[in-house]
Structure formats: structure tokens, C-alpha cells
Amino acid sequence: MKDRFNLYRFASPATFYPLAGALIPWFVAVSVVFGLAGLWLGMLVAPTDFQQGEGYRIIFIHVPASWMSMFIYLVMAGWAAIGLAFNTRLSGMMAQALAPTGALMAFLSLWTGALWGKPMWGAWWVWDARLTSELILLFLYIGYMALTAAIDDVKRADKAGGLLLLVGVVNIPIIYFSVKWWNTLHQGSSVNLTKSSMAETMLWGMLLMAMCFWMYAIAVALMRVRTIMLERERHTDWVKAELAGGEK
Amino acid sequence: MIHWNSFADFIAMGGYGFYVWGSFGATALIMAIEPIVVARNRKNTIARLKRQLRAETRNTAE
């Protein structure tokens, strides 16, 4: 009998758990490689910006952190939609595992933005559409975590959290297009699919850092989801076998 | 190839040192601490689940 490869098999925690465990070191390694290459290009090679001097180098973490804060939210909302539609166990765990990392990315986006805004605009913070909508994103993450933590029944927590995620998803295009729709102090996007206003080395440094952040987020979320799986599936045979097998 | 003339230049960041290093420092700190916290939670959770499992098997044996 031939065992056919089936992707849906990995939607089951019992098969996803060891797969995630095997993948984590690879994501960590790739993240480190991208990070070193990005820092080398961005911090050592890239030229001075003609308008912002060396202060622009904050871009190499500000943009990746901001992108990830939006992207992680979209992924969580995607898992929420799958969870609400098909009642899959894995989706709630994935959303739960991604939330703290997404919140940290939103925080870093605001933090590095403040440190960038002060020397360039003369203000740590302004109630501008871009900044305000990013702050709302941070509150959405915190709200999701608080809401799911407050409901004891896991299934109901996932449902309520999923609804919050789906309602809050309107905020993502608002963040992204805010610099187009409104007159913001925040500068327009430096990169889009058709053109870039940046020097080659700056652009590559930023993209490499974005890849570093992306791989980092995957690695941490996989670490977290494995713990959540053990916790939630503790009454199943596979977790009992895992625990009895001396899992560190 | 390297943009900087000296290490002091690199640290000064053309006068933006506080802002640039404040950004990179906070990011490095968070990216170092988050995995540590996650790993510690994992260790604690596994220890607790093992205790619970042992207690359960004891109870069913009695």
C-alpha cells in the first residue's frame, strides 16, 4: 500500500507538532543570516541619505517591524476566518501563538517611529492618520490577547477572539493607505511593487531585514504554538506519549 | 566599500546616534528577550503538564 502525501495531514496538531519542532532551527538560522546580511548592507555599506543624513538608518528596522505588524495581523485574521468557517483546532492555536509577536512588532514600529520622528519632525508623536491607525493596531493585538485570556472555555475564546480579529482587519488597509488618503506628516511609502525611491543598497538592506523579521516571527510563533498544542491537547494520547517520552 | 571612516563615526551616526541606537537597541532587546520568555514558558508548561499527568495516572491506579 502506498502512503500518499497529504498536506491536510499537517492541519492535525499531532503531525504539525513534530514538523514545527524540526522547522524551528532552520527558521532561526535563516533569520540570523538575513539579519547579518541586512545589517551589513544597511549599517555599513548603504550611503548617507541626502535629506535625513544618517538618521534614516532607522528605516532598516522601522519598515520591517511595521510590515510585520500588519502582515501578522492579516495572517491571524486568516486563521480566524478558517477557524470560524471550518471549526479547525489548529487555527485558534496559530492565532494565539502569533498575537504577542504581532503586538511586539506594532510596539517596535511605534517606538522606532517616535525615535525617527523626533529628529526629523521635532515631535515624538503626532495624531496623524498613519501613527494613530498603527496605535489602534497595537490596541487590537492587546485587546485580542486580553479577550481570549479572559474566557476560560478555549473554543469560545477562539470564537470571540476570531470575531475581534475579523472586525479589526479593516484597520490594515487604513494603515497602509493612510499616507495616500490623508495629508499626513508621515512620509509616503518608499517602496511599492512598481518603483522604489531608494538607492539599491538601501532597498536591499531593508528587504533583507524584512526577511530577517519575517523568519524570526515564524520561528517564535512556532515555538509558542508547540507549547499551546501541548496545553490544549493534554488529554490526548499523542501529548501523553510526548510528555512520557521525556520531552524537554 | 564600507561607508564609515572610523568606529567613532559609526557610533555617532552623524549626530543621530541616540535615535538610531535607541531604535536598534530596543529591537535587539525585544528579539533577545521574547524567545527566552517563550522558552521559559514552554519549560514551565511541560513541567506542570507532566506533574498533572503523573497525578492522574496515580489516581487511576488506586
| Adjacent-strand bridge partners of A53 | A49
pLDDT at A29 over 70: yes
- In this prediction, residues A95-109 reach a mean pLDDT of 98
Q: Which of A41, A43, A44, A54 to mutate to test the interface with B (most CBs of B within 10 A)?
A: A54
* Tens of pLDDT, residues A62-84: 999 999 999 999 999 999 999 99
pLDDT classification of A58: cutoffs 50, 70, 90: very high
* Global pTM value: 0.92
Percent of chain A with pLDDT over 70: 92
Query: Are B52 and A239 inside 8 Å of each other by CB?
Result: no
ipTM: 0.92
DSSP helix, strand, coil percent of chain A (3-state; round to 5)? 75, 0, 20
- Cβ neighbours of A68 (radius 10 Å): 23
Q: CA-to-CA distance for B52 and B49, rounded, in angstroms?
A: 5
pLDDT classification of A1: cutoffs 50, 70, 90: very low
Query: Are B27 and A58 inside 8 Å of each other by CB?
Result: no
* CB A230, CB A243: distance < 8 Å: yes
Residue A59's nearest CA partner among A80, A38, A75 is: A38
Helices A200-232 and A89-121, packing angle to 10 deg: 140
Residue A226 carries which side chain, given as an amino acid letter? R
- In this prediction, residues B2-25 reach a mean pLDDT of 93
* Tens of pLDDT, residues A14-24: 889 999 999 99
